[in-house]
Structure 1
Amino acid sequence: MDFHLPFFFSIFFTIYLTAHFIIFRNWSPKLRPDAASCSISFAHGTPAAIFAFQSIISDANRGFASPNTAFQNSVLEYSIAYFIMDLFHYLIFNPSDVLFIGHHVATLFVFLTCRYLVVHGAYGILVLLILAEVTSFFQNVWTLAGVLRVESKVAAQVFDVLSPPFYAFYSVVRGFFGPFFVYKMMGFYLSGEADDVIPRWVWVSWICVVVAAISVSILWICNKWVELYRERIAVVEKEKKVR
């Protein structure tokens, strides 16, 4: 592995420790780890989406089977470093959260094989990264507000105001654009045009991981819509009783 991955990991490690012991030092010990995790997610999500977009448009030969450019490899390494750091967070503080741990391991498999094994196909993987991270800023703000809403009225108000637009944005990205792009990606790989540079078992694994991730995302956002609906109905019923 080259120098980029250890360097990127050191950045996320430093951000995590800074958030945990300095920025959120006044938060309760139970909340600080999640806040630190959100901090490295802030540092990864939007920048990764921007870098991924730039690396794609700067490649004139971009395609599902095209060789990775140096810029694209760097973006993959940036994301690999983040997911390794956040995986450590979950293994230490939330070892029972099998869903997120499994998600991180599967995502790392895709990024690592694309970057270090086949060194092709970064175009498709990075487009999916953009679709995954374009909502991350709003999700992190929403998550932090949700963590604090029991202790802070302001946080509770931010959570309540942000939930509907965040859910709508997330639903469109994960429920429409994500599946549509995976459909195009799968159609290309099934044609066999990439078999010379990306072994079939690799791209099949990628598709399986991505389909599973999108399916879980859709199920998650559907549950959030149901929870929101129930909460709003409960508020309406409570107001009727007061009247």
Structure 2
Amino acid sequence: MAIEHWLLPLIVAAFCSIYLLGYFVVFRKWSPKHRPEASSCFMSLFHGTPAVLLAIPALLLPRPVRRFAAPNTGLQSLVLDFSTAYFAVDLLHYLFFIPPQASLYVAHHLAALFVFLTCRYLVAHGAFSILVLLVLAEVTSACENAVTLTGLRKTESAVAAKVHRWVTPAFYAAFTVARGLVGPVFFYKMSAYYLSGKARDVIPAWVSTSWIVVVGGAILGSILWISNLWFNFFRVENNVEMNKAIDV
């Protein structure tokens, strides 16, 4: 049996094991309310940065491969499988543990899986553009997980509260640069190429158009999300400063 036939299920099993390890061992003493989200973050730590480290060499290939319509290489396909497995398991996490209010995350994961699976198994081309976007999406993942985990514990731990206060603006800044500045520029170049029809021989128009819609929606959602976080951050900081002034 070819390696690609069993590699994806194997990676899915690995991420399931990591999630269960977090839920039943690492965070077993945490409150039931926070254990699922903490376990999801724990699993994400084994995806975000590793995915970036895998994707970078997959992108730093000879120029003919660094094109929007280039055929996927073996390493690029591996990265796509790696991220597909993670998003599939994390999707199960949201479906089982998270209330309906998290439907936006479910939609995001379904959209990401659509892009990964069509790129990997349907057209077998275009991984260069998808992996660049993956790097931009996951390069801030470790920092985001630190924000989430410390946020879950900040009311119970002074250390967690201190780390949360320090790491939050750093994450916001990095996310803003990656998703709000670099991401849109690359998205424009990718969209212009696919809409020109240059990739139509290897990537059907409906596939590339779907990628544009999904990625465009994700970038817009990210910009709105981080803008709201910045607004709340400065509002809280302003209230803290006002309270200090009143106390003085």
Q: State the TM-score, normalized to the length of structure 1.
A: 0.98
Counterpart code for 1:123 = F
Aligned to 1:109, which of 109, 114, 118? 114
Q: Name 1:13's counterpart in structure 2.
A: 16
CA distance in 1, matches of 2:135, 2:49: 9
For residues 162-216 of structure 1, what are the alpha-carbon distances to aligned partners after superposition, in whole Å with 9 as ceiling and x for unaligned? 1112111110111110000001101111221100000001000001000100111
CA distance in 1, matches of 2:99, 2:123: 31
1:73-88 mapped onto 2 (5 Å cutoff): 73-88=77-92
For residues 136-182 of structure 1, what are the alpha-carbon distances to aligned partners after superposition, in whole Å with 9 as ceiling and x for unaligned? 01011111011111211111111111111211111011111000000
Q: Name 1:188's counterpart in structure 2.
A: 193
Q: Name 2:29's counterpart in structure 1.
A: 26
Whether the 8 Å CA contact 1:16–1:40 is kept in 2: the answer is yes
Q: Name 1:47's counterpart in structure 2.
A: 50
CA distance in 1, matches of 2:35, 2:94: 13
Q: Percent identity?
A: 51
Counterpart code for 1:233 = N
| Structure 1 consecutive aligned stretches of length 4 or more whose deviation exceeds 3 Å | none
Q: Alignment partner of 2:200: what SS?
A: coil
For residues 117-147 of structure 1, what are the alpha-carbon distances to aligned partners after superposition, in whole Å with 9 as ceiling and x for unaligned? 0010000000000000000010111110111
Root-mean-square deviation (CA, aligned residues, Å) is 1.0
Whether the 8 Å CA contact 2:175–2:226 is kept in 1: the answer is yes
Q: State the TM-score, normalized to the length of structure 2.
A: 0.96
CA distance in 1, matches of 2:235, 2:60: 43
Q: Name 1:151's counterpart in structure 2.
A: 156
Counterpart code for 1:240 = A
CA distance in 2, matches of 1:235, 1:148: 20
Whether the 8 Å CA contact 2:195–2:209 is kept in 1: the answer is no
For residues 89-144 of structure 1, what are the alpha-carbon distances to aligned partners after superposition, in whole Å with 9 as ceiling and x for unaligned? 00001141111000000000000000010010000000000000000010111110
Aligned to 1:72, which of 55, 72, 76? 76
1:72-221 mapped onto 2 (5 Å cutoff): 72-96=76-100, 97-221=102-226
CA distance in 2, matches of 1:211, 1:152: 39
**Structure 1 position 26, deviation (Å):** 1.2
**Structure 1 position 58, deviation (Å):** 3.2
**Structure 1 position 60, deviation (Å):** 4.5
Q: Alignment partner of 1:50: what SS?
A: helix
Q: Any gaps of 5 or more consecutive residues in structure 1?
A: none
Q: Alignment partner of 2:5: what SS?
A: coil
Whether the 8 Å CA contact 1:59–1:69 is kept in 2: the answer is no
Whether the 8 Å CA contact 1:67–1:120 is kept in 2: the answer is yes
